[in-house]
Amino acid sequence: MKFRDFLLTLIIVITGVLLYRSIPLIEVMIASHPKPVTPRGDLMQLEKSNIAIFEAAKPSVVYISTLQRVVDFWHMSVMDVPRGTGSGFVWDKFGHIVTNYHVIEGASEAVVTLSNGLGYKAVLVGADPTHDLAVLKIRPIPGVMKPVIIGDSSKLKVGQVVYAIGNPFGLDWTMTMGIISALNRVLEEKEGARIKGAIQTDAAINPGNSGGPLLDSAGRVIGVNTAIYSPNGANAGIGFAIPINLVNRVVSSIIAYGKYVPPRLGIESDDRFNAMLARRFGIEGVAVLGIEPSSPAAAAGLRPTIVAPDGSVQIGDIIVAVDGHTVRSFEELQEQIQKHNHGESVTLTILRNNRYIQRTIPLA
């Protein structure tokens, strides 16, 4: 082999070895460059709908922080300390904010943070612990406060998609999605209060979401998030909301009177007497035992039960149905009455002298 051929062969071998050893370096150089982004195409229609609902509702949802006044007897001073937080939403353009009663319970001061990130001191308009609702008021902020759109909870169906929105930490909004799992649930609240007709959902409702709105797929408020079923303190996929039709009646009354004033017929009854009628005479209904003067019942001519001096009893009117819904106790009668607002009328089916008659009565 000539020297020239040997030298050429040696150069080829050395070059091959160098190239082989440089391959990892070349791979690192190539891999260190960002990978190209693959376009995903258009969002799904469901995703677009979710985003639109969230963006539309966000300006209406507020963050509520509360303080509690405590006395330091050691230093003989009074101070406000943080008590709790929760969510709420803008009810109207006048600055009314709706939240849960338990969010502000025991607080000496509340601050409402709007979508502009600024906090405003609130005053308590009124509260109704029996329905776990409270109304706060701040000065109206034009262009910032966006009132919610109200839906109709009487037309809800199990299986509907719902969204729970809150502002749990005052940093940003959160949204969870689920379905209506059940309707007409009964919530047992503190001090024996019972909220009837509650909406059950599997949309995650965390403690910071209390007081926030539950929305339907049209972005309307159908309930106020109020509680979760949690054996261990975490969300267990069972949340509850107060139906908006009830919220609407209670909030309107609180704004008008500073408290919830339920509509009334103006009658007196006793379920022990009603049970005796059902047991002895097979008559199921609500016996009118007394009538308040100048009440709707008095104006409609309802007749009370009369006990004569000799102890004999003259049975008066017995209300057996309200708007076609059978009532067997005074509590059931009250439940039907409280589905209405002041000034609305109800149609009573009355048993009088063994005959059924009907009376349409406006509520006071």
For every residue of 259-285, DSSP letters joined together read S-------EE--HHHHHHHHHHH---S
Q: What is the C-alpha to C-alpha distance for residues 283 and 286, in angstroms, rounded to an integer? A: 9
Q: What is the C-alpha to C-alpha distance for residues 321 and 358, in angstroms, rounded to an integer? A: 9
Out of 60, 210, 253, 269, pick the active-site residue: 210
* Predicted pLDDT at 293: 87
Write out the residue limits of the CATH 2.30.42.10 domain(s) in the chain: 267-362
* Predicted pLDDT at 230: 56
Which is higher by pLDDT, 257 or 6?
Answer: 257
Write out the residue limits of the CATH 2.40.10.10 domain(s) in the chain: 56-137, 153-257
pLDDT digits (tens, 9 = 90+) for 340-356: 877 788 888 888 888 88
Out of 65, 96, 131, 132, pick the active-site residue: 132
Please state which of the ranges 98-102, 171-175, 188-192, 272-276 shows the lowest mean pLDDT. Answer: 188-192
Verify whether residue 210 is a known catalytic residue: yes
Superfamily of domain 267-362: PDZ domain (2.30.42.10)
Fold annotation for 56-137? Thrombin, subunit H (2.40.10)
DSSP secondary structure code for residue 342 in this structure? T
* Predicted pLDDT at 135: 94
pLDDT above 90 covers a percentage of the chain that reads 18
Verify whether residue 342 is a known catalytic residue: no
Mean pLDDT of the chain: 81
CATH architecture of 153-257: Beta Barrel (2.40)
Strands 119-128 and 109-113, by their bridges, are: antiparallel
Out of 87, 102, 253, 269, pick the active-site residue: 102
pLDDT digits (tens, 9 = 90+) for 153-181: 888 999 999 999 888 766 678 888 999 99
Q: Which two tokens stand for residue 293?
A: 């003067």
If pLDDT is split at 50, 70 and 90, which confidence band does 3 have?
low
79 bridge partner residues: 70
Residue with tokens 């709706």: 98
* Predicted pLDDT at 282: 81
Verify whether residue 5 is a known catalytic residue: no
Main-chain phi, psi angles of 97, to 5 degrees:
-120, 130
Going from the C-alpha of 241 to that of each of 5, 53, 131, 304, the distances in angstroms are 90, 19, 11, 39
pLDDT digits (tens, 9 = 90+) for 279-305: 887 888 888 888 888 888 888 888 888
Residue 38 DSSP SS3: coil
The answer to whether residues 210 and 86 touch, using CB atoms and an 8 Å cutoff, is: yes
Residue 216 DSSP SS3: strand
